[in-house]
Amino acid sequence: MPEVDPADKTIASYLVRHHRFDPETNHFRWFILKAFDNEGEMNQLLESLWSDLEARKIAGSASPKEQIAGQINDPEWDKKHRGGGSPYHPAH
């Protein structure tokens, strides 16, 4: 699986994220599990993780708040719609 740096905003990337309990902060938050250079690899991992999460929820070993999600980072979209910056720190 071709993985990429999830912090690299200069390339398109496909992230797999996990919303779970963080004992350090004592609340639920999102964690980036992996970042890929193509959507197919992201979708393949998502399918596997969704199946695992569903089985753990049925068995009662996962929180109802726990989630798995995919996120697409597209630098071209950011340039066009956000002026190249993040939604929190727009580039002007």
pLDDT digits (tens, 9 = 90+) for 43-91: 999 999 999 999 999 999 999 999 999 999 998 877 777 765 555 544 4
Q: What is the pLDDT of residue 76?
A: 86
What pTM does this model have?
0.81
77: exposed, middle or buried (C-beta count within 10 Å: 0-12, 13-18, 19+)?
exposed
| 33-49 average pLDDT score | 97
pLDDT at 28 over 90: yes
